[in-house]
Amino acid sequence: MTENYDKGKVLEDLFNPDISIILAELENGSKESAYLANKIGISEEEIKTRLGYLIGAGFVISSNSPLSYTVNADKIAKIMESDENYKNVVDGLTELDSYLN
């Protein structure tokens, strides 16, 4: 099965501070758009805009009535595990930790 998304764009969005603040709120489960807008201090439309690419690529799932968002944690974990740059950072941090301890 071929995924139809730009991996670089997904990773860019996942690490974008304006988007990751929303994703952090979704870490513990689905949240309503109104809650996110109130908590973060931006409009519901801006929430939808910021998450747009991740929704289209299936990394965030949106539901209607009321509008809410959920992170597809399995899909995010898979892209993070397959990213060489991410692996190198984790390996580097692990090695640094071993030197410090």
Sign of CA dihedral 21, 13, 48, 42: positive
Tens-level pLDDT at each residue, the chain (101 residues): 447 889 889 989 998 999 999 999 998 899 999 999 999 999 999 999 999 999 999 999 999 989 999 999 999 988 888 766 555 555 655 666 666 65
DSSP assignment of 37-87: HHHHTS-HHHHHHHHHHHHHTTSEEEETTTTEEEE-HHHHHHHHHH-HHHH
Residue burial 68-88, b: 16+ Cβ < 10 Å; e: rest: bbebeeebbeebeeebeeeee
Taking the whole predicted model, whether its pTM rises above 0.75 is answered as yes
Show the domains of the chain with their CATH numbers. 7-72 (1.10.10.10)
